[in-house]
Chains A and B, each alone.
Chain A
Amino acid sequence: MVYEFEGKTEREAIDTAVESLGLQRDEFDVEIVETQKAGLFNFNKKVVIRVHTQDVDGNRFDTTPAAPKSKPRVQTEVPKVRGSYNPEPENDLEHALVDFIHGTTEKMGFPAKAIIAYREEDKIGIRLDSEYSGILIGKKGKNLDALQLLVNVIAARMVDEGYRVVLDSENYRSRREEALIRLAEKVGDQVKRTRKSRLLEPMNPFERRLIHTALANVEDIETKSEGEGLYKQVRVIYKSGF
């Protein structure tokens, strides 16, 4: 089958394709159809890609030799399973959390279905399925983080401290993680090349840790957090060696 997707960048278009088709990135071929650069009077950068997927018999439409016979896999979250995995709430706590999410998102005017994505000993992952996931995630995950904090407060009222609830929607967390690591690598290279330090945008502790870790073993570079409060900025610094 052939599908077309667009996005602001090639990457974004591919991510959209991965999401909408439920396939892995290596399960389809991508052809760039159109690249529209943002110009002076054209702020909308646009990339159109054409995606070629294998049909069910494993035959590709193009003539790449002997593609392995495999059905397109539906992308499923791989939960860290404890015992048998059940996406529905199982106990009072889980019911309370799921009910709270349903109630809050409904009263916000952006109803979401809460689905248990994984369970760990002191941690639970809940996925929000909603046609409004964009607004529920918010700019840089702001709304998702606020909801997550409130859900954690509710959880803390019912169980011991140390129990954590992680909210996600449309795989935002893992996508953001990957984007931050790519950013760290890019800035790392830049600092090495220019020997000038760079200050990144404010990030929460978890996000900063990702940056520090990504650059921890890169030569000639060190990272430091600057600023006050929860949202500090990471500075990437060139080590002069003197």
Chain B
Amino acid sequence: MERELIEYLAKALVDEPEQVEVAVIEGEKSTILELRVAPDDVGKVIGKHGRIAKSIRTVLSAASSKSGKRVVLEILD
């Protein structure tokens, strides 16, 4: 569910949506989502001073608030 949200947001933000990949690493108390995008698109999901990444994380934590499990987003470059 959170994976789909991240995939959706990333695809909307980048130039090469077909290169968007999200890996899910399930932990006991938290879930890590690893987002991979095309090298030229990394800036598009991070933004100036990380503003876009911060907003994505805010939206993600709102979405995961009802499950109670912590979901962490990592952007790989």
Asked if A107 is at the interface (CB within 8 A of a chain B CB), the reply is: yes
Asked if A22 is at the interface (CB within 8 A of a chain B CB), the reply is: no
Contact with B along A98-113 (1 / 0, CB 8 A): 0010011001111000
B28-66, CB < 8 A from A:
47, 51-52, 54-56, 58-59, 62-63, 65-66
Q: Interface residue tally of chain A, by bracket? A: 10 to 19
A32 smallest CB distance to B (angstroms): 34
- Contact A146/B63 with A104-B5, A107-B4 known, Cβ cut-off 8 Å: no
Contact with A along B3-20 (1 / 0, CB 8 A): 011001100110000000
The answer to whether A143 and B58 have CB atoms under 8 Å apart is: yes
The count of residues in chain B whose C-beta lies closer than 8 Å to any C-beta of chain A is 19
Asked if A135 is at the interface (CB within 8 A of a chain B CB), the reply is: yes
Asked if A142 is at the interface (CB within 8 A of a chain B CB), the reply is: yes
Asked if B1 is at the interface (CB within 8 A of a chain A CB), the reply is: yes
How far, in angstroms, from A4 to B77 measured CA to CA in the complex? 56
Name 13 extra pairs, CB < 8 A, besides A104-B8, A107-B5, A109-B66.
A107-B1, A107-B4, A107-B8, A108-B5, A108-B59, A108-B62, A110-B62, A143-B59, A145-B55, A149-B52, A150-B13, A153-B13, A154-B13
